[in-house]
Amino acid sequence: MCGIVGIVGTGPVNQTLYDALLLLQHRGQDAAGIVTCEGNRLHLRKDAGLARDVFQTHHMIRLRGTMGVGHVRYPTAGTSSLAEAQPFYVNSPHGIVLAHNGNLTNAETLKHDLIHEDLRHLNTDSDSEVLLNILAHELQIQGRVPIDEQDVFRAVAGVHRRCRGGYAAVAMIPGFGIFAFRDPYGIRPLIYGKREGAEGVEYMVASESVVLEPLGFKPIADVAPGETVVITVDGRIHTQQCAERTMLSPCIFEFVYFARPDSIIDNISVHKARSRMGKKLAAKIKREWSDHDIDVVIPIPDTSRTAALQLASELGVPYAEGFIKNRYIGRTFIMPGQKVRKRSVRQKLNPIDLEFHKKNVLLVDDSIVRGTTSQQIIQMARDAGAYRVYFASAAPPVRFPNVYGIDMPAASELIAHNRTEEEVRQALGADGLIYQDLPDLIEAVQKKGKSQIDRFDTSVFNGDYVTGDVTPEYLQALEARRNDRVRVHQPSDGEDTLDLYNSY
């Protein structure tokens, strides 16, 4: 999962891009990058780490220009090396910068075609570089200088014909503008908006709506599945559907965990969806465990707070904040490498003993993925004096890998894979375990009559992959490539700001 942003402004955009990456930091903490465009010259700064550490004053000064693209990365394919930090750039044709969120399921086939048929060079293992080169090839065969929006629409249509998987992308071409597109299923989120000022109208494309309004942009619309939005340097906006067949099928895990609660994705409030998750979970407890002895409901901060608060209210049980979170430790789920995740849990959370002492506690989390964090938290609750520790998940059991851009690649790492719920409970060390039912989760997010969702991608829960091209052989190969045992984090000395020149 990554965060992307693109801006066409009337003045310098470096500060706004930086601010946008801070607002998207929850989507990736491995690396950050910005490319700005000053006339026909591109300026780049990217490095491993958080945005606040990657961009210092002397970097920002050199990121000149009125148009730019930014990215925060969380590795899902390849390694977490600087070489795969984004945005990516390719000189031919026209000089294209691209930032990508998602994962291509046919990347290996595309790599072969790019090298042997399109005669293009790939410098990394990143599928984002594959996407960029597919786009570049499709623009190349348009054969026009200068290009216009119709050339872009035809090129993106070619991308949709060739690429499979989940992808939301924003690209920039010097002298032309930026354009954004979303895969035909709309698996990964993308929205655009505008900001009116004394010097004219500025436009922004971003992964989540939470980026727009704090920076003064008014949302226009979500980018539709298969749609391309073109914003030219002179402030004109063009949209066109570029995919032959579309079906709005967003990843439901965005609403469970990844997105900020104050975001609205495809006209669905993430906060309200999580509140309904808590209500549905409470109804299941009432139905299946009416004589429960829960003394207090305690959330695992931060993502589960909304669901836990609603659950406690529905059950008529006290709600308490039992864990204090260290704000300077990142989200353990998206840290590269299992050893790093394990080490960070006790540094990130510290229990308030009096909220646990001599109580039967229901801990509520948004989901249970690998289970190692949950095991440690349950033990922390016992160590703090709880009599009994129950655990509730606002999502169903995660039993299958995610192939569309979330770091759940290895089925063997998922605690619920090939286990019953009772076996998961025993593995976690909990006195009781309550999972959300999948139909209830879908209904909680869908809010029938209020959204235009055709279906959700729920593949991590039921193994039903919306793109229809995921085979057991593909999953085996993916696990071999991306298992924690073989993933390597490559340290970096950093990459200074570079001047890149387009090919005009």
Q: According to the model, what pLDDT value does residue 82 have? A: 78
Report the amino acid identity of residue 435.
Y
**Statement: residue 296 has pLDDT above 50:** yes
Least confident of 146-155, 187-196, 336-345: 336-345
Structure tokens at 485: 């045992």
Q: How far apart are CA 187 and CA 184, in angstroms?
A: 8
Say if 3-247 and 270-325+345-466 have the same CATH topology: no
Provide the CATH topology of domain 270-325+345-466.
Rossmann fold (3.40.50)
Q: How far apart are CA 381 and CA 275, in angstroms?
A: 24
- Name the class of domain 3-247: alpha beta
Q: How far apart are CA 407 and CA 394, in angstroms?
A: 19
Annotation says 251 is catalytic: no
Measured N-to-C along each axis, helices 107-116 and 127-140 cross at an angle, to the nearest 10 degrees, of: 50
User: Which sequence spans correspond to the domains of the chain?
Assistant: 3-247, 270-325+345-466
Q: According to the model, what pLDDT value does residue 464 have? A: 95
Mean pLDDT value of segment 317-339: 72
Measured N-to-C along each axis, helices 270-288 and 438-446 cross at an angle, to the nearest 10 degrees, of: 150
Q: How far apart are CA 20 and CA 38, in angstroms?
A: 19
**Statement: residue 77 has pLDDT above 80:** no
pLDDT tens-digit readout, 94-105: 999 999 999 999
* Pairing, β 323-325 against β 349-351: antiparallel
**Statement: residue 494 has pLDDT above 60:** no
- 323 forms beta bridges with 351
Structure tokens at 357: 């002492």
CB 499 within 8 A of CB 447: no
Known binding-site residues equal 303, 365-366
CB 212 within 8 A of CB 219: yes
Known binding-site residues for Mg(2+) equal 303, 365-366
pLDDT tens-digit readout, 6-15: 999 999 999 9
Report the amino acid identity of residue 194.
K
* Pairing, β 237-241 against β 218-222: unpaired
Q: According to the model, what pLDDT value does residue 449 have? A: 63
pLDDT tens-digit readout, 151-167: 999 999 999 999 999 99
Place of tokens 């402030």: 235
Q: How far apart are the two ends of the chain, measured CA to CA in Å?
A: 34
Mean pLDDT value of segment 487-497: 43
Q: According to the model, what pLDDT value does residue 329 have? A: 65
Find, among 394, 379, 146, the residue nearest to 255 by Cα.
394
Q: What percent of the chain has pLDDT over 70?
A: 90
Q: Phi-psi region for residue 122, left (φ > 0), alpha (ψ -120 to 50) or beta?
A: beta
Q: Could you give the C-alpha distances from 314 to 93, 275, 309, 442, 444, in angstroms and in order?
A: 58, 11, 9, 19, 15
Q: According to the model, what pLDDT value does residue 44 have? A: 97
Mean pLDDT value of segment 235-245: 96
Mean pLDDT (the chain, rounded): 90
**Statement: residue 493 has pLDDT above 50:** no
H helix or E strand, kind and range, residue 223: none
Mean pLDDT value of segment 356-373: 96
pLDDT tens-digit readout, 196-232: 988 899 999 999 999 999 999 999 999 999 999 999 9
Q: According to the model, what pLDDT value does residue 259 have? A: 95
Q: According to the model, what pLDDT value does residue 420 have? A: 96
Confidence grade of residue 320 (pLDDT, cut at 50, 70, 90): very high
Catalytic residue among 2, 37, 242, 251: 2
CB 94 within 8 A of CB 141: no
